[in-house]
Chain A
Amino acid sequence: MGEEVKVFGYWASPYSYRAELALKLKGVSYEYINEDIFGNKSDLLLKYNPVHKKVPVLLHNGKPIVESLVILEYVEETWKHNPYLPQDPYDKATARFWIKFIDEKCFPTLWLAAWSAENEREKVTNEACEYLKTLESALNGKKFFGGETIGMVDIVASSVGYFIRVTQEIMGQNLLSADKFPQLFQWSEDFANCSIVKESLPPRDKLLPFVKGLIAKYQQDNAKA
């Protein structure tokens, strides 16, 4: 039977990107549907993700899977070749720990550092640097978080390694710099240079103005609040 795989995503979303990269790493063909998440979400999106109404949504033979981390685990379990999670339960738990750390601490704080008000920025930036330091320790001399090849932690860390680096450029910040975090910086270069990663990342020249606009919006909303 032909597999029917669809991804409802948004071209600039780091979460949506994770779902796509996972499928590409498994060599799974899929149809991509770009959702107008800032304008008009499609009826299908609202039908497949009634609880959160967000992208990404993975549709596999008509059944929806939502939340990027849930999607990553599902893809790993459904297409067992090219594994991106370790087999050993302890190593798996360790990978999941770092994934949670990136998603709940690293990424949100780095994003906050980009648009937070002047008076809060230093505090948030310091916090973000602490998190980057901790994240770097997880690399522990390896090329990728997954070892010699990209693993699930790398997929999730793309939010930091690519999307946040673009954000930093806009804000004239250089938190993820080669001299402050040499290992992490090298990782982000190696990661972005992987052909399979490169072909699916949103292009920098499109992403820059988009993120600039988003930051302006966040700053505006924050000022009003």
Chain B
Amino acid sequence: MAEEVVLLDFWPSPFGMRSRIALAEKGIKYEHKEEDLRNKSALLLQMNPVHKKIPVLIHNGKPVCESLIQVQYIDEVWHDKAPLLPSDPYQKATARFWADYVDKKIYEVGGRVWKTKGEKQATAKKELIETLKLLEKELGDKPYFGGESLGYVDVAFIPFYSWFYALEKCGNFSIEAECPKLIAWAKRCMQKESVAKSLPDQQKVYDFILEMKKHFGIE
């Protein structure tokens, strides 16, 4: 039976990028549908009635919502190629822990870096660097969080790299200066076609952030 895979997405979303990467790693052909979040499609509202958010993965007509749930689903269904989660339960738990850590910290703290000024922004920057340093420590000397190949944590985390330039410009700081090993890891990931094709250009993301700042009246 022909598999029908559709991804409802929004180009700057780091969550959408996770599913793009997972699908690309597995070599799955899919239809990519770009959503206008100010004018959500009937399909999106039908497929994700609870949250009305992207990304939504639609597999043979059935929706899977939430990016990390999608990545796990993709890994389980197309399990014969490029495994993202380890098979050992303890290593799997470790991967889940760090993906959860990325989920809890990066988006919220990063958001405060571009949405605030002065004291609040200084605090956000400090917190972001602490978070990134902890992740850098977890990476250690491994080429990827997944070890020798791209894994679950890499897929969960690398999309935020496309936002680093925008955060650095908004916060007037250098992430590479603080976390050189992490940036080396990011560049290594970007050499993979699945990642390079899934992440938007950093300048484009910065322009998008500037537009968002204007829209929300943030200086």
Contact = CB atoms under 8 A, between A and B. Distances in A.
Contacts of B76: 89, 92
A134 B51 CA distance: 11
A69 B70 CA distance: 17
B26 interface: no
Most buried by A among B65, B72, B90, B97: B97
B101 A51 contact: yes
Interface string A59-91: 010010111011101100110000000000110
A97 B65 contact: yes
Given A74-B90, A77-B89, A93 B96 contact: no
B92 A77 contact: yes
A90 B93 CA distance: 21
B96 A90 contact: no
A179 B50 CA distance: 23
Please classify how large the interface on chain B is, using the bins under 10, 10 to 19, 20 to 34, 35 or more: 20 to 34
Most buried by A among B66, B76, B77, B93: B93
B100 A67 contact: yes
Contacts of B59: 90
Q: Tell me if A's interface is mostly helix, strand, loop or mixed.
A: helix
Q: Tell me if B's interface is mostly helix, strand, loop or mixed.
A: helix
Contacts of B101: 51
Interface in B79-130: 89-90, 92-93, 96-97, 100-101
Please classify how large the interface on chain A is, using the bins under 10, 10 to 19, 20 to 34, 35 or more: 20 to 34
B69 A74 contact: no
B93 A93 contact: no
A100 B15 CA distance: 15
Nearest to A88: B76
Contacts of B64: 90, 93, 97
Contacts of A92: 72-73, 76
Contacts of A77: 89, 92
B97 A63 contact: no
Nearest to B74: A89
Interface of A: 51, 60, 63, 65-67, 69-71, 73-74, 77-78, 89-90, 92-93, 96-97, 100-101, 134
Given A73-B92, A73-B96, A89-B73, 13 more contacts: A51-B134, A65-B90, A65-B93, A71-B93, A78-B89, A89-B76, A89-B77, A90-B59, A90-B64, A93-B70, A96-B66, A97-B65, A134-B50
